[in-house]
Chains A and B, each alone.
Chain A
Protein backbone atom coordinates (compact mmCIF):
# COMPACT_ATOMS: atom_id res chain seq x y z
CA UNK A 1 0.00 0.00 0.00
CA UNK A 2 1.29 3.45 -0.94
CA UNK A 3 1.31 5.79 2.04
CA UNK A 4 0.65 9.48 1.39
CA UNK A 5 2.08 11.95 3.89
CA UNK A 6 1.05 15.60 3.90
CA UNK A 7 2.79 18.51 5.57
CA UNK A 8 2.30 20.66 7.43
CA UNK A 9 -0.80 19.53 9.28
CA UNK A 10 -1.91 23.14 9.68
CA UNK A 11 -0.87 26.21 7.72
CA UNK A 12 -1.73 29.77 8.71
CA UNK A 13 -1.38 32.31 5.90
CA UNK A 14 -2.35 35.95 5.52
CA UNK A 15 -4.75 36.96 2.74
CA UNK A 16 -2.89 37.64 -0.48
CA UNK A 17 0.11 35.58 0.56
CA UNK A 18 1.27 32.32 -1.00
CA UNK A 19 0.41 28.98 0.55
CA UNK A 20 2.55 25.93 -0.20
CA UNK A 21 1.30 22.46 0.72
CA UNK A 22 3.36 19.29 0.40
CA UNK A 23 2.46 15.69 -0.26
CA UNK A 24 4.92 12.81 -0.26
CA UNK A 25 4.31 9.27 -1.52
CA UNK A 26 6.05 6.26 0.00
CA UNK A 27 6.88 5.07 -3.53
CA UNK A 28 6.65 6.58 -6.97
CA UNK A 29 3.13 7.31 -8.24
CA UNK A 30 4.31 8.99 -11.44
CA UNK A 31 1.93 11.87 -12.08
CA UNK A 32 -1.10 10.01 -10.75
CA UNK A 33 -1.78 12.50 -8.00
CA UNK A 34 -4.91 14.53 -7.25
CA UNK A 35 -5.64 17.34 -4.81
CA UNK A 36 -9.00 17.99 -3.17
CA UNK A 37 -10.38 20.87 -1.15
CA UNK A 38 -12.87 20.20 1.63
CA UNK A 39 -14.72 22.83 3.60
CA UNK A 40 -16.55 21.98 6.85
CA UNK A 41 -19.80 20.14 6.25
CA UNK A 42 -19.13 19.76 2.54
CA UNK A 43 -17.97 16.98 0.26
CA UNK A 44 -14.44 17.19 -1.13
CA UNK A 45 -13.99 19.07 -4.39
CA UNK A 46 -11.43 18.07 -7.01
CA UNK A 47 -8.87 20.81 -7.59
CA UNK A 48 -5.98 19.20 -9.44
CA UNK A 49 -5.50 15.88 -11.23
CA UNK A 50 -2.55 14.40 -13.04
CA UNK A 51 -0.40 16.29 -10.51
CA UNK A 52 -0.73 19.61 -12.35
CA UNK A 53 -3.98 19.89 -14.34
CA UNK A 54 -6.67 22.10 -12.86
CA UNK A 55 -10.13 20.63 -12.79
CA UNK A 56 -12.99 22.43 -14.47
CA UNK A 57 -13.83 25.77 -12.88
CA UNK A 58 -10.84 25.86 -10.52
CA UNK A 59 -9.27 29.33 -10.25
CA UNK A 60 -5.82 29.86 -11.70
CA UNK A 61 -4.38 30.73 -8.27
CA UNK A 62 -4.37 26.98 -7.55
CA UNK A 63 -1.47 25.10 -9.13
CA UNK A 64 0.04 21.68 -8.69
CA UNK A 65 3.51 20.41 -9.38
CA UNK A 66 5.76 17.43 -8.84
CA UNK A 67 6.10 13.82 -9.93
CA UNK A 68 7.30 10.55 -8.53
CA UNK A 69 7.16 10.92 -4.76
CA UNK A 70 7.13 14.66 -4.10
CA UNK A 71 4.19 16.93 -4.89
CA UNK A 72 3.19 20.49 -4.11
CA UNK A 73 -0.08 22.40 -4.16
CA UNK A 74 0.39 26.15 -4.33
CA UNK A 75 -2.23 28.79 -3.74
CA UNK A 76 -0.58 31.85 -5.20
CA UNK A 77 -2.64 34.54 -3.47
CA UNK A 78 -4.75 33.21 -0.63
CA UNK A 79 -8.37 34.33 -0.49
CA UNK A 80 -10.65 34.04 2.52
CA UNK A 81 -12.73 31.41 0.74
CA UNK A 82 -9.65 29.16 0.48
CA UNK A 83 -9.87 28.35 4.19
CA UNK A 84 -10.32 24.57 4.08
CA UNK A 85 -8.60 21.23 4.47
CA UNK A 86 -6.69 19.97 1.46
CA UNK A 87 -6.07 16.31 0.68
CA UNK A 88 -3.82 14.60 -1.81
CA UNK A 89 -4.68 11.18 -3.27
CA UNK A 90 -2.76 8.76 -5.46
CA UNK A 91 -4.48 6.88 -8.27
CA UNK A 92 -1.39 5.00 -9.43
CA UNK A 93 -2.13 1.73 -7.72
CA UNK A 94 -4.97 0.29 -5.63
CA UNK A 95 -5.61 0.62 -2.82
CA UNK A 96 -6.17 4.26 -3.64
CA UNK A 97 -4.87 6.26 -0.71
CA UNK A 98 -5.35 9.74 0.66
CA UNK A 99 -3.01 11.85 2.71
CA UNK A 100 -3.91 12.98 6.20
CA UNK A 101 -4.77 16.48 5.05
CA UNK A 102 -3.46 20.02 5.53
CA UNK A 103 -5.74 22.54 7.16
CA UNK A 104 -5.26 26.04 5.74
CA UNK A 105 -6.25 28.86 8.03
CA UNK A 106 -6.49 32.54 7.25
CA UNK A 107 -4.19 34.55 9.52
Chain B
Protein backbone atom coordinates (compact mmCIF):
# COMPACT_ATOMS: atom_id res chain seq x y z
CA UNK B 1 0.00 0.00 0.00
CA UNK B 2 1.51 3.28 -1.15
CA UNK B 3 1.04 6.32 1.07
CA UNK B 4 2.57 9.79 1.05
CA UNK B 5 2.30 12.60 3.57
CA UNK B 6 3.47 16.19 3.37
CA UNK B 7 4.82 18.08 6.35
CA UNK B 8 6.15 21.54 6.95
CA UNK B 9 5.14 24.98 8.20
CA UNK B 10 1.60 26.19 7.72
CA UNK B 11 2.62 29.84 7.83
CA UNK B 12 5.68 31.52 6.39
CA UNK B 13 6.58 35.18 6.07
CA UNK B 14 7.29 36.90 2.77
CA UNK B 15 10.92 36.48 1.60
CA UNK B 16 11.39 33.40 3.80
CA UNK B 17 12.34 29.97 2.48
CA UNK B 18 9.77 27.18 2.60
CA UNK B 19 10.91 23.63 3.28
CA UNK B 20 8.42 20.82 2.76
CA UNK B 21 9.02 17.15 3.40
CA UNK B 22 7.21 14.27 1.73
CA UNK B 23 7.45 11.06 3.74
CA UNK B 24 6.30 7.98 1.91
CA UNK B 25 5.87 4.24 2.33
CA UNK B 26 4.98 1.28 0.16
CA UNK B 27 7.62 1.91 -2.51
CA UNK B 28 11.30 2.66 -2.88
CA UNK B 29 12.73 5.68 -4.62
CA UNK B 30 15.64 3.53 -5.71
CA UNK B 31 13.38 1.41 -7.96
CA UNK B 32 13.79 2.04 -11.67
CA UNK B 33 11.09 4.23 -13.16
CA UNK B 34 9.82 5.65 -9.89
CA UNK B 35 9.59 9.33 -9.11
CA UNK B 36 8.07 11.72 -6.59
CA UNK B 37 6.65 15.04 -7.65
CA UNK B 38 5.34 18.20 -6.04
CA UNK B 39 2.18 19.92 -7.21
CA UNK B 40 0.47 22.94 -5.69
CA UNK B 41 -2.99 24.44 -5.83
CA UNK B 42 -3.82 28.01 -4.78
CA UNK B 43 -7.23 28.32 -3.12
CA UNK B 44 -9.96 27.94 -5.73
CA UNK B 45 -7.49 27.54 -8.58
CA UNK B 46 -6.05 24.82 -10.77
CA UNK B 47 -3.21 22.39 -10.13
CA UNK B 48 0.32 23.52 -10.91
CA UNK B 49 3.24 21.11 -11.25
CA UNK B 50 6.41 22.28 -9.46
CA UNK B 51 9.13 19.63 -9.51
CA UNK B 52 9.87 15.94 -9.89
CA UNK B 53 12.76 13.73 -8.80
CA UNK B 54 13.39 10.28 -10.22
CA UNK B 55 14.97 7.14 -8.82
CA UNK B 56 18.24 7.94 -10.63
CA UNK B 57 18.33 11.46 -9.09
CA UNK B 58 17.24 13.10 -12.35
CA UNK B 59 15.46 16.32 -11.36
CA UNK B 60 12.96 18.41 -13.32
CA UNK B 61 11.56 21.79 -12.42
CA UNK B 62 8.84 24.14 -13.55
CA UNK B 63 10.67 26.71 -15.73
CA UNK B 64 8.78 29.61 -14.16
CA UNK B 65 9.90 28.61 -10.65
CA UNK B 66 13.19 26.86 -11.36
CA UNK B 67 15.36 29.57 -9.83
CA UNK B 68 13.51 29.25 -6.53
CA UNK B 69 13.11 25.47 -6.22
CA UNK B 70 15.32 22.64 -5.06
CA UNK B 71 14.19 19.02 -4.80
CA UNK B 72 16.21 16.33 -3.07
CA UNK B 73 15.68 12.78 -1.90
CA UNK B 74 16.82 10.69 1.03
CA UNK B 75 16.23 7.12 -0.05
CA UNK B 76 17.17 5.66 3.32
CA UNK B 77 14.52 7.78 5.07
CA UNK B 78 11.91 7.44 2.32
CA UNK B 79 11.67 11.20 2.07
CA UNK B 80 11.68 13.87 -0.61
CA UNK B 81 12.30 17.49 0.34
CA UNK B 82 11.24 20.57 -1.62
CA UNK B 83 12.63 23.99 -0.82
CA UNK B 84 11.21 27.19 -2.27
CA UNK B 85 13.03 30.44 -1.65
CA UNK B 86 11.77 34.01 -1.47
CA UNK B 87 8.18 33.14 -0.64
CA UNK B 88 5.45 35.59 -1.63
CA UNK B 89 1.74 35.80 -0.77
CA UNK B 90 0.95 34.48 -4.28
CA UNK B 91 2.64 31.24 -3.23
CA UNK B 92 -0.17 30.59 -0.75
CA UNK B 93 -1.48 27.18 -1.76
CA UNK B 94 -2.04 23.58 -0.83
CA UNK B 95 1.13 21.67 -1.64
CA UNK B 96 0.88 18.02 -2.62
CA UNK B 97 3.49 15.36 -3.16
CA UNK B 98 2.68 12.42 -5.39
CA UNK B 99 4.15 9.12 -6.62
CA UNK B 100 4.99 9.09 -10.31
CA UNK B 101 5.82 6.38 -12.83
CA UNK B 102 6.58 8.57 -15.87
CA UNK B 103 2.98 8.06 -16.87
CA UNK B 104 0.92 9.84 -14.24
CA UNK B 105 0.72 10.75 -10.59
CA UNK B 106 -1.04 7.68 -9.28
CA UNK B 107 -0.82 8.20 -5.53
CA UNK B 108 -1.14 11.55 -3.78
CA UNK B 109 -0.59 12.84 -0.29
CA UNK B 110 -3.40 14.63 1.52
CA UNK B 111 -1.75 18.00 0.89
CA UNK B 112 -0.62 20.73 3.24
CA UNK B 113 -1.87 24.31 3.16
CA UNK B 114 0.90 26.88 3.28
CA UNK B 115 -0.05 30.50 3.88
CA UNK B 116 2.40 33.30 3.12
CA UNK B 117 1.69 36.34 5.22
CA UNK B 118 3.50 38.80 7.42
- By a beta-carbon cutoff of 8 Å, the part of chain A in contact with chain B is 1, 32, 34, 36, 38, 43-46, 49-50, 55, 87, 89, 91, 94-101
Highest count of chain B CB atoms <10 Å: which of A32, A91, A97: A91
Number of A-B contacts (CB under 8 A): 58
Contact partner of A46 (CB less than 8 A), chosen from B48, B60, B63, B106, is B106
* Cα–Cα, bound, A45→B111 (Å): 12
Expressed in whole angstroms, the minimum distance between the Cβ of A87 and any Cβ of chain B is 6
- Taking A38-B47, A91-B104, A96-B60 as known contacts, 5 extra A-B pairs with beta carbons closer than 8 A to each other, sorted by chain A number, are A36-B47, A49-B106, A89-B105, A98-B49, A101-B47
Q: Is the interface of B mostly helix, strand, loop or mixed?
A: strand
Does the CB pair B103–A32 fall under 8 Å? yes
Q: Chain A residues near B106 (CB, 8 Å)?
A: 46, 49, 55
Q: Fill in one digit per residue for B91-118: 1 if any A CB lies within 8 Å of its CB, else 0.
A: 0000010000011111111110000000
Q: Which of A1, A46, A50, A95 contacts B105 (CB 8 A)?
A: A46
Contacts of B104 in A (CB 8 A): 34, 46, 49, 55, 89, 91
Given contacts A43-B110, A95-B49, A49 and B60 within 8 Å (CB-CB):
no
Q: How far is the CA of A94 from the CA of B60 in the complex (A)?
A: 7
**A50 nearest in chain B by CB position:** B103
Question: Is the Cβ of B49 less than 8 Å from the Cβ of A34?
Answer: no
Most chain A C-beta atoms within 10 Å of own C-beta, residue among B62, B104, B105: B104
